[in-house]
Chain A
């Protein structure tokens, strides 16, 4: 990967993490762990020349569709959109507040930029299937990306969708699993161990890739391949990530699954991210 691109992506990821921390600290609630673990995934999609979109026309009909099935991670998406300019920065600080378009979980009725409302885990893949079918029917060449959590794999609906997408050869559909090894109540291997995950998707007929979900090189390589190659089948990218990535005291600390940092913790976090005199 070119150094210049890598620097841009690294810089973006840093900004996104700062925004996530500030948003959640100001909101006083939310999900830092699963927002932070998918930052590189989203940054690569949006700023690594993967997703097809128009800055000046976010609902452009030919856009690639991105569905955040793990809706609780939405602060990361809001932060990305503020970097693009689709959301004014000051709006970020209204997250989870009364009358804000930035609801705690994605609400398309309040924020029409969203492809769909989400927050009840397990539903996004099916919605993506509908969009992929529509794309095929209309002979449009957009792709549909669905970001899911690893805990989300527990939901039966996911496997209804996996079976259907393979049978219908929805090769314009890509699932990205944020495999951070934790769900709400604890480590995946203690709550409901579904390993080996790759074999599950493969046995459902999907093209499966495994990558380091924090490596821009690996993400860009695999997403680029998925975008350019004409696979016959839908693809599942299992991205190995670290929950709470980027903040030392949040990494692999599942108490930050659904708890916002206090003001003091947020200031410490922002210092770690390189801000000299952070304010909340």
Chain B
């Protein structure tokens, strides 16, 4: 099977990049809620203690304070686990940040079910859906450390609110020989004309492995990394829909309100074609090794491969 060099977790790349850009940009302040060792904001905290604030286990207060800091011209980066920051402080994000038009960067760690053994309370399968509800928010989920480093530098420079979903496990390196990306665009990783697969985060490498299995069966799949969940890369989606005509979306998230539902609602208005969404359906996950969870919930390369085969069968005349 296809091998990847295993890189750092995307959360670690976030922490390192933050500490790097904090050097030049003195407006950057970092807020955490007693998870800085996990979100990796501790690196910034060690380097710039006067610009780091630990709120204790009080996410609502942290988000409100981020709004106040932004209102005074600071660039707050706010971090915690995805499940806690998004779910606990959803309403503070709504009123104090989104509804006040403020420039706050939310970078959560532990997105998805690859959190693993800790079980469903620490996993996050709805963060992307929830964060996409805020007007003017940009929602991005990087696949590896290389993309994460580029992304964090970009959002620090760009005005406006962001949600970035990083993840716990070490991430396979997707971009060994690349460190520049086009803002808002999906990235083609494999070319094939039978079906196109879109994914983000840790499942991108699973899709690439599935691509190889499919190839052995004579099925040629395009594979795209689709880190931008809001806004989606409409141009690429439309182009692929027209050229290939069959799309599969794989995501470590609930089917409701994720990338798949955003792409399908776009396509159903502009260019209806068969779409298969491989995602977590109407449930929370559980404890287990990340690989085991991926397999049980349909996100391992084998399961992706099987789903794609079925999808192609049912949609070929």
Contacts and interface: CB of A to CB of B under 8 A. Distances in A.
A164 B95 contact: no
A116 B72 contact: no
A157 B72 contact: no
Interface stretch (A2-10, A77-85, A132-140, A216-224): A132-140
13 contacts: A108-B100, A115-B71, A123-B96, A126-B62, A127-B68, A130-B66, A130-B67, A131-B69, A131-B72, A132-B68, A133-B65, A137-B51, A163-B56
A193 to B, nearest CB: 24
A58 interface: no
Interface in B29-57: 29, 50-51, 53, 55-56
B71 A157 contact: no
A130 B71 contact: yes
Contact of B68 (A107, A126, A160, A163): A126
Nearest to B63: A126
A117 B64 contact: no
Contacts of A108: 99-101
Contacts of B76: 130
A161 B74 contact: no
B148 interface: no
B240 interface: no
Contacts of B64: 123-127, 129-130, 157, 161
Interface of B: 29, 50-51, 53, 55-56, 58, 60-74, 76, 91-92, 94-96, 99-101
Contacts of A157: 58, 60-61, 64, 92
B101 A129 contact: no
Interface centre among A119, A120, A132, A160 (most CB of B within 10 A): A160
A128 B65 CA distance: 7
A160 B58 contact: yes
Nearest to B73: A134
Contacts of A156: 60
Nearest to B31: A130
Given A109-B101, A135-B72, A164 B67 contact: no
Given A130-B65, A160-B58, A161-B64, A118 B72 contact: no
A157 B88 CA distance: 11
A124 B11 CA distance: 30
A130 B69 CA distance: 5
B94 to A, nearest CB: 8
Contacts of A137: 29, 50-51, 74
B273 to A, nearest CB: 37
A120 B71 contact: no
